[in-house]
Structure 1
Amino acid sequence: MSEEILINVTPRETRVAVVENGMLQEVHIERTSRRGYVGNIYKGRVIRVMPGMQAAFVDVGLERAAFLHASDVLRAAPLDLAGDEPPLPPQPTPPIAELVREGQDVVVQVVKDPIGSKGARLTTQLSIPSRYLVLLPYGRVLGVSARIEDEAERARLKSMLGELIREAPFGYIVRTNAEGQPGEALAEDVAYLGKAWSAIQAAIGTSRVGQCVYEDLSLPLRALRDLMRDEVEKVRVDSRETLERIQQFAHQFMPDLAERIEHYPGERPIFDLYGVEDEIQKAMQKEVPLKSGGYLVVDQTEAMTTIDVNTGAFLGHRNLEDTVYRTNLEAAQAAARQLRLRNLGGIIIIDFIDMTDAEHRRQVLRQLEKSLTRDHSKSTVYEFSPLGLVEMTRKRTTESLERQLCEPCGTCGGRGSVKTSETVCYEIFREITRAVRQFDAEKLLVLASPKVVAKILEEESAAVAELEEFIGKTIRFQPDEQYAQEQYDVVLL
């Protein structure tokens, strides 16, 4: 598996692309005017407690009050060096009113950015990541990432970390990147995290409510920390200034991989190198073509994302069941890629083409799960439902690619459709009748889009004549390019 990370830097925007075998898989965008908040730690103040929601709203200095659920409020657990979880069974979550009170100052961390009309989601269970570890300053658990599946390696890492933190009153999680790393690498991270936590504690003591006391790394450094692994052959950066910062970070935390970071000096933009710009534009479209001639239709809504699979022009060579099976196998791979590329999260419903063979359904499900294994976001896939749908969830912490780059259409208001010119014609006729009943006027002027006016004068001229006779007044229609199809004004003269 050939993998490269491309970093494109401009004065107001930084973009990171993950390319596998020449094909774009992920895009991460950070704009200076709208940096994400996930990972930031704030000194906040509880402004409202909502017992019915088991939650509180906290002022952390952002545009909207942030949301803190009772389940995200810290409760102490004993340190467990033998297993991955605290030995005691989970206890029922106490009422939110017993955990926080209005006016109370709290130190919180953002776990989910503001999305749509929702404020950021918070936790008091702080975590500070490094290259190989995550420090849980208030936690008492010693865990290993579930993505490290080899039991011997899990035991080795846990044993090494246990020796390093024997006297430390903190919890730690070993990240996936730590697989195969020596004890010295973990020791460096333990030292770094200890210094970082000391600096955060000092900042908490001197900061005011609404101030950020710890800010996560910038996008290029986060990309190196979270995405850099042995399979990555090259990291190419088109900015010398950013390159220097990245190399300095790499020499400190990942010296073995530092030599793979290089400057891209080419005149051709770095994202044009692998067609990344074109792929980003395609990710804004609803339809995703498949090589076989079939296609996916991706619909993102507030509640969920749906992916519909269609055979399109693919007719196959054997029979209908074989055609459907092969299309669904290709669609499973494509759907997994689109989830990563578009950063789609929450509830996802995939409507594969109906298959009668149970083994075919099992193979398609296995292909979907296999294609999701390289995804950094945690996902859970369920069996086919009685209606032939696959339900799954994918962890969402930031806005999708579409919502980062796009805004609702000014014409349709995000509905995805506009009223027909015929519908608008009849609305205008009703508005004229309503207006003459309320106000006195000798004439009426209707301003509307050229398409609607043409429809009225060409196809509805008889209806206009009947309306003029009914109201006893003259109506004049004037097209205006500034009017969208659904817009119009009835002016009394």
Structure 2
Amino acid sequence: MSEEILVNVTPRETRVAVVENGMLQELHIERGWRRGVVGNIYKGKVQRVMPGMQAAFVDIGLARAAFLHANDIMRAMPAIPNEDGAPAETLPSSVRPIAELLRDGQDIVVQVVKDPIGSKGARLTMQLSVPSRYLVMLPQSKVVGVSARIEDETERARLKGLVSELAMTGGSGFIIRTNAEGQPAEALAEDIAYLSRVWGLVEERARNASVGTCIYDDLSLPMRAVRDLMRRDVEKVKVDSRETCEKLRVFAAQYMPGLAERIELYSGARPIFDLYGVEDEIQRALQKEVPLKSGGYLVIDQTEAMTTVDVNTGSFLGQRTLEETVYRTNLEAAQSVARQLRLRNLGGIIIIDFIDMHDPEHRRQVLRMLEKSLSKDHAKTTVYDFSPLGLVEMTRKRTVESLERQLCEPCPACNGRGTLKTAETVTYEIFREITRAGRQFDAERLLVIASPMVVNRITEEESAAVAELEEFLGKSIRFQQDDQYVQEHYDVVLL
């Protein structure tokens, strides 16, 4: 498998694309005025403890107060963080009442596990962690764990033994990341020494910082991409900024010397994302429909509560039976769904409506294909079996806004509904508003300003109704087109 990482840098925006076999798989965006805060550690102050929710709102200096649940204060045992180094959510064996753990006005040190999304503030934890190339340091724990993605038992035992021995003097716990597979003791020792220095600085800042201060800021997007995404199977990291390229080479030479030579400057005349077709893929990732090679297609709908994916055969007729056609379409759809979730960064509850299959073995194979395709995803996913209605329910951990939410905003004409009232509906709303205004106010004439589509409909198809209305109110009514008005908007003016 050929994999490359492309880094596109402009003065106000940095984008990182992960391309596998010529196809875009992941896209990460960081804008100068709106950097993500996942992984950052803050000195915060408890604004309000809410016993009924077992949670508290905490001021960490962001626009909205952040949310801290009791589960994220007391934990029986930390879970293995995600591959991006962000802390993972865990379930404690028992949680004391939040009022016994925190009080209003208390200063605490917290870490962001989820960016502010929509109208919700950031999600916090007090179980802090600091990631490096091969390890994640857990300063408040003694546990040494190994990423589940390292499957070889001999290698797992070797790594755990090495880190346990190296960490004896430090008193902190560690999670061994997937990137550590095959690494010598020297590389792990360097990581532990680096993390110990970082944590010492965090502790010092925490003692002296004021409330709302960020006391640990995670690396910039290009640095994080090299740290978290660069593995042995990554052939090249291509950067279109000389300054960023030099910074990444210095960073890689210090923390991953064996891979530093794979970072190269792209100086071609054609933009790097255009050369690899990434710009076109981004535009397609903002569309609801996703075509499949067979002729079928997916329809992806993202809502506040969940994301739904509908699978359709489209123009695919197959060559054998209907059941075989459906099975082949669903197999292809399972791979495409996994890629789209990763590319669009869709999270939360996801419902997939595959085309109905009657053969239980076909269902098992489609589910197995979905799980296999999701195994490359850095975000934690959980897939459940087909429901009695033939739907597949799954969850994908969400830490930042989806691609659509990052790049788009609700339509000002429909306020994000996706539909507009018809010209007929607006016409009858205008008639009701004319009646209301004519009875309430003493004016000789009324002027209605509306979109050309609505005015044309009223003057051409509803002229008789307008005449009846003028006679009923005893007032003259004029209509005026305005191209600035969208179909649903209008004004009734008294003259």
TM-score range, shorter chain: over 0.9
Match of 2:359 among 348, 351, 357: 357
1:44 aligns with 2:33: no
Residue 64 of structure 1 aligns to a residue in which SS?
Answer: coil
User: C-alpha offsets along residues 125-153 of structure 1, whole Å, 9 cap, x if unaligned?
Assistant: 10000000000011221110111111111
Q: 1:90 & 1:300 partners in 2: Cα distance?
A: 31
C-alpha deviation, 1:77, in angstroms? 6.5
User: Letter of the aligned partner of 1:303 in structure 2?
Assistant: A
1:274 aligns with 2:268: no
User: Letter of the aligned partner of 1:148 in structure 2?
Assistant: I
User: Letter of the aligned partner of 2:368 in structure 1?
Assistant: R
Distance 1:75 1:242, change over 3 A: same
**Corresponding position of 1:241:** 243
Q: 1:246 & 1:336 partners in 2: Cα distance?
A: 30
Deviates more, 1:295-304 or 1:149-158: 149-158
**Corresponding position of 1:83:** none
Residue 257 of structure 1 aligns to a residue in which SS?
Answer: helix
Q: 1:44 & 1:74 partners in 2: Cα distance?
A: 17
User: Letter of the aligned partner of 2:409 in structure 1?
Assistant: E
User: C-alpha offsets along residues 89-109 of structure 1, whole Å, 9 cap, x if unaligned?
Assistant: 953111100111001100000
Q: 2:406 & 2:264 partners in 1: Cα distance?
A: 28
Give the TM-score of the pair, scaled to structure 1. 0.97
In 1, are the aligned partners of 2:70 and 2:98 still within 8 Å (CA)? yes
Residue correspondence of structure 1 range 319-338 to structure 2 within 5 A: 319-338=321-340
1:401 aligns with 2:403: yes
Q: 2:105 & 2:331 partners in 1: Cα distance?
A: 55
Q: 1:76 & 1:477 partners in 2: Cα distance?
A: 70
1:232 aligns with 2:234: yes
Residue 425 of structure 2 aligns to a residue in which SS?
Answer: helix
Residue 333 of structure 1 aligns to a residue in which SS?
Answer: helix
**Corresponding position of 1:113:** 115
**Corresponding position of 2:413:** 411
User: C-alpha offsets along residues 404-441 of structure 1, whole Å, 9 cap, x if unaligned?
Assistant: 00011010001111101110000000000111110111
Q: 2:206 & 2:486 partners in 1: Cα distance?
A: 53
**Corresponding position of 2:212:** 210
Distance 1:90 1:53, change over 3 A: closer
Deviates more, 1:201-210 or 1:14-23: 201-210
**Corresponding position of 1:63:** 63
**Corresponding position of 1:309:** 311
Misfit runs of 4+, over 6 Å: none
User: C-alpha offsets along residues 19-41 of structure 1, whole Å, 9 cap, x if unaligned?
Assistant: 00000000000000000000000
Give the TM-score of the pair, scaled to structure 2. 0.96
Q: 2:328 & 2:464 partners in 1: Cα distance?
A: 56
In 1, are the aligned partners of 2:48 and 2:57 still within 8 Å (CA)? yes
Q: 2:14 & 2:100 partners in 1: Cα distance?
A: 43
**Corresponding position of 2:31:** 31
Identity of aligned residues (%): 76
In 2, are the aligned partners of 1:76 and 1:138 still within 8 Å (CA)? no
Q: 1:374 & 1:274 partners in 2: Cα distance?
A: 21
**Corresponding position of 1:472:** 474
User: Letter of the aligned partner of 2:297 in structure 1?
Assistant: Y
User: C-alpha offsets along residues 439-486 of structure 1, whole Å, 9 cap, x if unaligned?
Assistant: 111111100000000111111112212222222221111000111110
Q: 2:130 & 2:141 partners in 1: Cα distance?
A: 11
Deviates more, 1:32-41 or 1:137-146: 137-146
User: Letter of the aligned partner of 1:21 in structure 2?
Assistant: N
C-alpha deviation, 1:187, in angstroms? 0.6
Q: 1:310 & 1:466 partners in 2: Cα distance?
A: 50
Q: 2:194 & 2:74 partners in 1: Cα distance?
A: 24
Match of 1:136 among 131, 138, 145: 138
User: C-alpha offsets along residues 252-301 of structure 1, whole Å, 9 cap, x if unaligned?
Assistant: 11101111110001010000111000000111110001111111000000
**Corresponding position of 2:193:** 191
**Corresponding position of 2:82:** none
**Corresponding position of 1:82:** none
Structure 1 unaligned regions, length at least 5:
79-88
User: C-alpha offsets along residues 157-203 of structure 1, whole Å, 9 cap, x if unaligned?
Assistant: 10111111122211110001111111111111001001111111111
User: Letter of the aligned partner of 1:455 in structure 2?
Assistant: R
Q: 1:334 & 1:90 partners in 2: Cα distance?
A: 36
C-alpha deviation, 1:75, in angstroms? 5.1
**Corresponding position of 2:96:** 94
In 1, are the aligned partners of 2:74 and 2:92 still within 8 Å (CA)? no
Distance 1:90 1:454, change over 3 A: closer
User: Letter of the aligned partner of 1:410 in structure 2?
Assistant: P
Quote the RMSD (CA, aligned, Å): 1.1
Residue 265 of structure 1 aligns to a residue in which SS?
Answer: coil
Residue 211 of structure 2 aligns to a residue in which SS?
Answer: coil
Deviates more, 1:453-462 or 1:339-348: 453-462
Q: 1:6 & 1:90 partners in 2: Cα distance?
A: 40
Q: 1:300 & 1:182 partners in 2: Cα distance?
A: 45
Deviates more, 1:13-22 or 1:155-164: 155-164
User: C-alpha offsets along residues 294-316 of structure 1, whole Å, 9 cap, x if unaligned?
Assistant: 11000000010000001111111
User: Letter of the aligned partner of 1:276 in structure 2?
Assistant: V
**Corresponding position of 1:84:** none
Q: 2:76 & 2:302 partners in 1: Cα distance?
A: 39
C-alpha deviation, 1:206, in angstroms? 1.4
In 2, are the aligned partners of 1:131 and 1:225 still within 8 Å (CA)? yes
In 2, are the aligned partners of 1:77 and 1:140 still within 8 Å (CA)? no
Q: 2:39 & 2:92 partners in 1: Cα distance?
A: 25
Residue correspondence of structure 1 range 287-306 to structure 2 within 5 A: 287-306=289-308
User: C-alpha offsets along residues 337-360 of structure 1, whole Å, 9 cap, x if unaligned?
Assistant: 000000000000000000111111
Residue 34 of structure 1 aligns to a residue in which SS?
Answer: coil
**Corresponding position of 1:428:** 430
Q: 1:459 & 1:331 partners in 2: Cα distance?
A: 47
